[in-house]
Amino acid sequence: MEDENKKVLYRPSFGPDNQYDSDARFLRQQLENPNEALLDEEQREPSDIIQDFKQIKELLPDDVNFLGHAIIDKLIDRLHNRFPKGNSPKPDDPVYETPKEIPTVDTNHIPVIEGHKDIPSLFSEPETINLRIEMPKTLVQLIQDDYNKDIIQLQEDYLERLQMIMRQYYQQMLMLVADSGVESVKELIQEFDGNAVVIPPGNSLEHCRDHIVRSQVVRKQKTRLFKKTHTVDETVMHLRAWHAAEAQRERYYGEEYKDSSEYTQSHSNALLRESRANYDSRYKNALYNTYKYLNSSALVLNDILDDSVKEAQAKAMLIKNGVDIYATNSLFVKVTKDTVSDNVTDNAGIVKGTTVDQKNTQKTTGNRAAQNNKQQQ
């Protein structure tokens, strides 16, 4: 210590002297490939995803049950077509082979000591060596693996969103059923006639009735828009664009570059690089568009079901205060074939048509107009 103090550049250290030595022994389980164990736990089989989709389809309320036919059925068909056996393809097991020729050590140049034949040899006997040989995948196989992985991950993400939405919806609805004393969820989602339901004076429940009426109109408008934006044709269009981009990637990555020894070969390679880059970009865009399409359907579905839950909350409040929420003043119009033809039903359930007298009047007006035109000519 005295020697250290005599040094010109000596600087004292005032910090603690931390020592982290330990005599403990930690037993760790050694895995050949830890990443494979994690992937096996997280990755789901296509058959499991299909089964969960079918369960979600059965749980959809009547207002949005078209989602099962417009989107879910098409996703199930895609999984069936891509994975006919119901499971994702597994990588091939490595091949263990023994080399045909094992190098040996030439010991002829080592002199033999007479009288000492029992001395052990310096070189061990040749042993069997097993080599792990994994065949490298082609570019086309790598593209196919990426496509399969993207299909499973995208549909699994969409399935988890639907499961979360339906879980929250039924959790709240079942709590309202138990609190209000009704028999089932369907009694809380029936049509509400604001003109027929009478609120007793002095209960301060007019806001509940008004909210149900307003929300019911907005929810129906959202549902009609939802049916127009997310149809079978839209779903098939997104899936086909995605699949077409993947097929074009397989086509161009299946070709090989030339040696560029000639002028035309050099430009051919440039065109091939451009085609590969073009369809790589198209594949990413198609995948992203499909994700946005499915994600938007989940967001709209959540919005519609959230409005339905709020309506059910207001209805449960009215039921607990003795209000008859099932009262109605609906008028039923009987329509016969003799009076109305070409019937058209609007979204509110009102039947519109053209009567026979109106048709005759239209025909007479048309004939008179044609006669006037002939006279003028």
Residues of the chain with pLDDT > 70, as a percent, come to 69
Calculate mean pLDDT across residues 273-287.
95
102 confidence band (pLDDT: 50, 70, 90): low
Pick the range with the lowest mean pLDDT from 32-36, 67-71, 204-208, 243-247: 32-36
Per-residue pLDDT, 175: 93
As a whole number of angstroms, the distance between CA 308 and CA 190 comes to 10
Count the helices and strands in the chain (H runs, E runs): 10, 4
As a whole number of angstroms, the distance between CA 370 and CA 373 comes to 5
In degrees rounded to 5, what are phi and psi of residue 46?
-60, -35
As a whole number of angstroms, the distance between CA 236 and CA 259 comes to 41
Residue 253 resides in a domain:
yes
Higher pLDDT pick, 288 / 13:
288
In degrees rounded to 5, what are phi and psi of residue 66?
-65, -20
Bridge partners of 352, per DSSP, are 344
Residue 38 resides in a domain:
no
In degrees rounded to 5, what are phi and psi of residue 90?
-95, 150
Task: Name the E strands within 265-316.
Answer: none
As a whole number of angstroms, the distance between CA 220 and CA 201 comes to 29
Residue 233 resides in a domain:
yes
Q: Which pLDDT tens digit goes with each residue over 25-53?
A: 766 655 455 444 444 456 688 999 999 99
Calculate mean pLDDT across residues 267-285.
94
Residue 225 resides in a domain:
yes
Residue 331 resides in a domain:
no
Residue 189 resides in a domain:
yes
Higher pLDDT pick, 216 / 121:
216
Pick the range with the lowest mean pLDDT from 20-34, 266-280, 362-376: 362-376
Question: How many domains would you assign to the chain?
Answer: 1
Give the mean pLDDT of the chain: 79
Task: Name the E strands within the chain.
Answer: 95-97, 131-133, 340-345, 351-355
Bridge partners of 133, per DSSP, are 95
Pick the range with the lowest mean pLDDT from 91-100, 187-196, 330-339: 330-339
As a whole number of angstroms, the distance between CA 73 and CA 63 comes to 17
User: What angle separates helix 232-253 from helix 73-82, to the nearest 10 degrees?
Assistant: 20
CA dihedral 188, 191, 192, 197 (to 10 degrees): -100
Per-residue pLDDT, 15: 77
Pick the range with the lowest mean pLDDT from 125-134, 199-208, 268-277: 125-134
128 confidence band (pLDDT: 50, 70, 90): low
Q: Which pLDDT tens digit goes with each residue over 194-217?
A: 888 888 888 889 999 999 999 999
Region class of 322: left (phi > 0), else alpha (psi between -120 and 50), else beta: left
Per-residue pLDDT, 98: 54
In degrees rounded to 5, what are phi and psi of residue 273?
-60, -40
Calculate mean pLDDT across residues 118-140.
71
Per-residue pLDDT, 101: 60
Per-residue pLDDT, 211: 93
Residue 16 resides in a domain:
no
Bridge partners of 351, per DSSP, are 345
pTM value surpassing 0.75:
no
Calculate mean pLDDT across residues 73-95.
81
Contact 4, 10 (CB under 8 A): yes
Per-residue pLDDT, 6: 67
As a whole number of angstroms, the distance between CA 215 and CA 309 comes to 10
What are the distances in angstroms from CA 137 to CA 131, 140, 142, 149, 250? 19, 8, 7, 16, 13
Q: Which pLDDT tens digit goes with each residue over 330-369?
A: 553 343 334 433 443 443 343 444 443 444 444 444 454 4
Per-residue pLDDT, 357: 43
Residues of the chain with pLDDT > 90, as a percent, come to 48
Residue 339, both tokens: 């009076």
What are the distances in angstroms from CA 351 to CA 281, 340, 345, 346? 50, 10, 5, 7
As a whole number of angstroms, the distance between CA 169 and CA 124 comes to 73
Calculate mean pLDDT across residues 96-125.
58
Residue 13 resides in a domain:
no
Higher pLDDT pick, 28 / 143:
143
User: Residue 69 is part of which domain span?
Assistant: 44-88+139-320
